[in-house]
Amino acid sequence: MEFDAATIARFLQGEIEGDPGTTVNTIAKIEEGHPGALSFLANPKYEQFLYTTGSSIVLVNKSFVPSARVEATMIRVEDAYEAFASLLRLVDQARPRKKGIHPTAVIEKSASVGADIYIGPYAYIGENSSVGEGSLVYPHVFIGDNAKVGKNCTINPGVKIYHDCIIGNNCVIHAGSVIGSDGFGFAPQSESEFMKIPQLGNVVLEDNVEIGANVAIDRATMGSTIIRKGVKLDNLIQIAHNVEIGENTVMAGQTGIAGSTKVGKNCMFAGQVGIAGHLKIADGVKIGAQSGIHSDVKQENSVLLGYPAIDHRDFARSSIVFKQLPEMSRKLRELERQLELLRKQAE
């Protein structure tokens, strides 16, 4: 598909600097731009590429002031990154949409499926389960008995949704993720044996949740593991049994949340964050990469770093000290040596 600058500017409510008739038919990074491509500039460290890019159109912030001549047609918008994301959504929605039920799919007689759906090859829909209208169920998906998938969901290849789990409307689950596997519950019987504790609960994903690839969300021992509306989880994340993740919280890859922890709404966790079990994390908390949380975070909108995680300002000051530790250790040994010499001289 081809669009001209005037059409794009109208869609984004932007202002054109350059030729309104400039056309594009693809997108590209600004540093890899080529004729016919659209790029964006949001991060100032990429400004140098604006003056050399081969892209035909570049989205920039209205406040941006170039320091050299720009050959590309610019479209000024309030937020270049957000505007670019809007265009990507538009392109994605324009792609042909799969429909119909493949003959190799297995749908149990007691299951129900809505109108305008797609169920791909070798997908399985269990007894008394349901898939809402407009949803896409890609090949090799397993949906267990009594599970419910809402409207306009996308369940990507190889996803496993265990029995009794509930997926809300407009959810996306990426390939290989497992929703509702058993929580890690074992009771010690002796020094070397453990008895498995049955996991009788389920997992509930509310509306507008997106789950990355190869994520594991364990079912509750009793009750529900709950992912509230608007939550976005990156790839390779572990959510343990009876955890609750608050609305619009986002987590980057390899984060792990131990059992029965309650995470507030609007939180942001960077990669490889680890949170111990049975904790409460307040609303709006931000946790830096590879940080570890072993106690409740009660202060809303805290920003934490390190292990054990502390306030980011304290961590920044501490990191200066960390770098000085080898030299401080050397000086300490030298002082001890001199003190020992003085002691011997005094004797």
Are 33 and 133 found together in one domain?
no
pLDDT of 51: 97
If one counts the domains in the chain, the total is 3
Domain residues for the domain of 24 are 3-93
The rounded distance, in Å, linking the Cα atoms of 338 and 84 is 65
Closest CA to 20 of 32, 29, 30, 10: 10
Report the amino acid identity of residue 221: T
Are 23 and 40 found together in one domain?
yes
Are 108 and 242 found together in one domain?
yes
The predicted-structure confidence for 301-338, as pLDDT tens digits, reads as follows: 999 999 888 888 888 888 888 888 889 899 999 999 99
The predicted-structure confidence for 14-61, as pLDDT tens digits, reads as follows: 999 999 999 999 999 999 999 999 999 999 999 999 999 999 999 999
pLDDT of 320: 83
Q: What are the catalytic residues?
A: 241
Residue 274 and residue 306 in contact, taking contact as beta carbons nearer than 8 Å: no
List of residues 6+ apart from 19 with CB closer than 8 A: 5, 73
pLDDT of 154: 98
Are 303 and 190 found together in one domain?
yes
Structure tokens at 343: 């002691």
pLDDT of 308: 87
Are 127 and 276 found together in one domain?
yes
Closest CA to 177 of 227, 221, 130: 227
Structure tokens at 61: 């912030």
- Phi/psi at 222 (nearest 5 deg)? -140, 150
- Could you tell me the CATH number of the domain that includes residue 34? 3.40.1390.10
Are 126 and 165 found together in one domain?
yes
Asked if the model's pLDDT at residue 106 lies above 80, the reply is yes
Are 243 and 280 found together in one domain?
yes
Are 220 and 336 found together in one domain?
no
3-state SS of 74-89 is EEEECCHHHHHHHHHH
DSSP character string of 254-296: T-EE-TT-EE-TT-EE-TT-EE-SS-EE-TT-EE-TT-EE-S-
Structure tokens at 21: 């008739």
Asked if the model's pLDDT at residue 5 lies above 90, the reply is yes
What 3-state class would DSSP assign to 101?
Answer: strand
Are 88 and 112 found together in one domain?
no
Report the amino acid identity of residue 170: N
Residue 117 and residue 134 in contact, taking contact as beta carbons nearer than 8 Å: yes
Are 249 and 160 found together in one domain?
yes
Are 244 and 275 found together in one domain?
yes
**Cα Rg of the chain, angstroms:** 27
DSSP conformational letter for 324: H
Asked if the model's pLDDT at residue 1 lies above 80, the reply is no
Task: Tell me: cis bond preceding 308? Omega within 30 of 0 counts.
Answer: yes
Are 51 and 134 found together in one domain?
no
